Chains A and B, each alone.
Chain A
Amino acid sequence: MTFLHQYPKAAKVAKANFIVAFIALAIGGLFGFIQALHRTDVFRGFFNSGEYYTLLTGHGVLLALIFTTFFIAGLFVWGVTRSLDREPENMTFTWSWFWLMTIGLIMTAVTILGGLVPDSSIRAAVLYTFYPPLQAHPAFYIGLALVIVASWMAGADWFWSYNKWRKNHPDERIPILTFMALFTMMMWYVCTIGVAVEVVGLLIPWSLGWVTEIEPLLPRTLFWYFGHAVVYFWLLPAYYVWYAILPKLSGGRLFSDAMTRIVFVIFLLLSTPVGYHHQYADPGISVGFKFYAMATTMLLLLPSLMTLFTVVASMEHGARQRGGKGYLKWIGKLPWDSPAFVGCALAGIMFAAGGFSGMINASMNINLLIHNTIWVPGHFHLTVGTAVALTFMAISYWLIPQLTGRKLKFKTLALIQPYAWFLGMTLMSNAMHRAGLAGVPRRTAEPQYSGFEFEPIFGTMAEMDWQIAIGGTILTISLILFLWVITASWMGGEKSDRPVDDYIPEPLSGAEHTPKILDNMKLWFALAIILVLLAYSFPLWEMISDGIFEPGALPRPS
């Protein structure tokens, strides 16, 4: 008996979400490959440099917003259903959020891809940050709004299940898989308020022409109110996997239940008031608030370091169960031949590296050296592009068999995949960081200028370009391997009652040792709101006190 047989309805929903996620991953990944060759001037024959920005928008939206959101929805459907031991409460409601989210995605995707059709008036080359006054087709914003609203409904679905479960289990602790999902969603509710207000309140009326002028700083600030918390919305599900599943994959069990809950509580509290650290270089926001954002950002190191210790301790425990000994020798006893384990472990290692460049980004004045340079995409390809994406891919090798009732095919290819990703990403990201230090900008089709040349600290621009292109190519190969293994297993894997070992053992230090207060969702949610108000109420008031759309700029087509 695996998940499919126990909860057939939930399995169907989860599978539907994964299918959409993987299609978005395939298209977005392809765009990424073209960009890697284009901006490094290795090959520019696919599209011209104006169309590059359409591809870039597609890459960002499809991977950062669509792939993640759908994958997370599938993952949480699996986790909540399983840990509460109940199917979704009302299938009509569950399917309606799935379809609403899909319709929103299609609207958004069509407007973006319209940019590749000559003379099309349906365009949305505004990148995934869609800063006005560059204006996209209204359907772009409406589609995004639908995705967000549908994701709220998905969260409500899980809270619904939880409330029903609570009625039957008044004294039990929230199961850890549900706890993590609900706290992630609470954080999502707090942070999406910003983008919802931005899109529904400002951008949709403006793109429809109901108002002509817009103040650029206000939507930008609202975007970043959402824009950093969203990275934790991607990251927490990866933590979800590292805490709940990775220890098992390495042969052991979670080290501490309490630690896990504390980490998720801290993320709920601190994820949102940090948004200004994307706006250190902005006029119109005072240094004091930027400083507050920096302090909260630095505090977020704490839960990440706690995660590092807890996960490594769990892995060490697993390795020792498998016969590992010594201070470091146990590392060799970890299952380095299991694709799911390898992917998660390598993703974790890369997240540590991403954390280092993240500290640079977070440091207010050091940030100015690398603000909006290619250093920044170098950083987030380590975090969201590997820590999150590689974890999601790796855990698919373990989840998809449970959802389809079929064994994984082509295990050798599946094993090569995470190693290839790690190699490709190191090459690409290393060169991106170095080029960023020389001042090479991000988000540009042709980072070559006629009036001057960049001066790298060492190495040459050409060598970095090649390193990026080669890294990007290896990543593409890795992605193709992943898609191939998953498709083949999904369609033609050997049917089995128990396609993988899906038992998850109890933590070493269980919930009985965890302070009860950590489960008090209302308390933490209220605290999170207070911290947000502290960070945002005054600057936002300053921006809107002279009129919501003032000082106004006219729209510019993208």
Chain B
Amino acid sequence: MIVFFIATVVYGFVAMDLKVIGNYETIDPQNLSDTPFGTPGVKEVTKNGATEYEVYVQTLQFAFLPGTSSPITVPADTRITFYITSPDVLHGFDVAGTNLNTMAIPGQISKFTTIFPEAREYGIVCNEYCGPAHHIMEGKIEVVPKSEFDKSNLVE
């Protein structure tokens, strides 16, 4: 039975592409301005000839940057890689109701890749206690159809 449970998880890894983050890459949380996190937002990259997007997000007391004051807008059916870090305390980055769910730890970079299959809105919740206004920390991801994706808001 125990073997079966472990096998289930391995199956998820291999066959369903259910990956767990686990990279080791540190960053100085007090000096994010010289890194790509200094200009957080959606960036366009080309990998293996295909257009993909990278999203750099800072989680701070008590907002996602971007995400809170303006939604993170990305196209559907495209590979999107998120890079998340925190300049202050621990936060969570949970796309509500999905398994996109990671910790944001000062000094570490969380990285995960996903493809949003359809155009819709998702809520982002900070799910790790980060201070007295933790409960107001929320954001939004707006997935738009690939054809309607507006590239004028991309950052360099």
Q: Which residues of A contact B (CB under 8 A)?
A: 49-50, 53, 56, 125, 127, 131, 133-134, 215-217, 220, 279-288, 290, 294-295, 298-299, 301-302, 359, 362-366, 368-369, 371-373, 438-439, 441-447, 449-455, 542, 546, 550-554, 556, 558
Top 9 nearest A-B pairs by Cβ distance?
A452-B123, A439-B96, A551-B107, A287-B22, A441-B127, A50-B132, A553-B106, A365-B18, A372-B127
Which residue of B26, B89, B122 is within 8 Å of A551 (Cβ)?
B26
Interface of B is mostly: loop
Q: Say yes or no: A552 contacts B135, CB within 8 Å.
A: no
Which residue of A50, A442, A542, A552 is within 8 Å of B133 (Cβ)?
A50
Answer whether residue B52 sits at the interface, using C-beta atoms and an 8 A cutoff: no
Which residue of B103, B127, B135 is within 8 Å of A282 (Cβ)?
B103
Q: Which residues of B contact A (CB under 8 A)?
A: 1-2, 5-6, 8-9, 12-13, 18-30, 61, 87-90, 92, 94-103, 105-111, 121-123, 125-136, 138-140
Interface of A is mostly: loop
Question: What's the nearest-Cβ distance from chain A to residue B126, in Å?
Answer: 7
In the complex formed, the residue of A with least CB distance to B12 is A365
Q: Say yes or no: A298 contacts B127, CB within 8 Å.
A: no
Q: Could you list 20 examples of A-B contacts with CB < 8 Å? A: A49-B135, A134-B89, A134-B130, A281-B103, A283-B24, A283-B108, A290-B20, A364-B9, A373-B127, A439-B98, A439-B125, A442-B127, A450-B138, A451-B139, A453-B123, A455-B97, A550-B107, A553-B29, A553-B106, A554-B88
Q: Say yes or no: B126 contacts A441, CB within 8 Å.
A: yes
In the complex formed, the residue of B with least CB distance to A213 is B30
In the complex formed, the residue of B with least CB distance to A455 is B97
Question: What's the nearest-Cβ distance from chain A to residue B78, in Å?
Answer: 21
Q: A220 and B125 in contact (CB under 8 A), knowing A369-B101, A551-B29?
A: no
Separation of A284 and B26 alpha carbons in the complex (Å): 8
Separation of A162 and B15 alpha carbons in the complex (Å): 54
Q: Say yes or no: A452 contacts B6, CB within 8 Å.
A: no
Q: A441 and B125 in contact (CB under 8 A), knowing A283-B22, A284-B108, A551-B27?
A: yes
Q: A546 and B26 in contact (CB under 8 A), knowing A133-B89, A439-B97, A447-B135?
A: yes
Q: Say yes or no: A439 contacts B94, CB within 8 Å.
A: yes
Separation of A282 and B133 alpha carbons in the complex (Å): 23
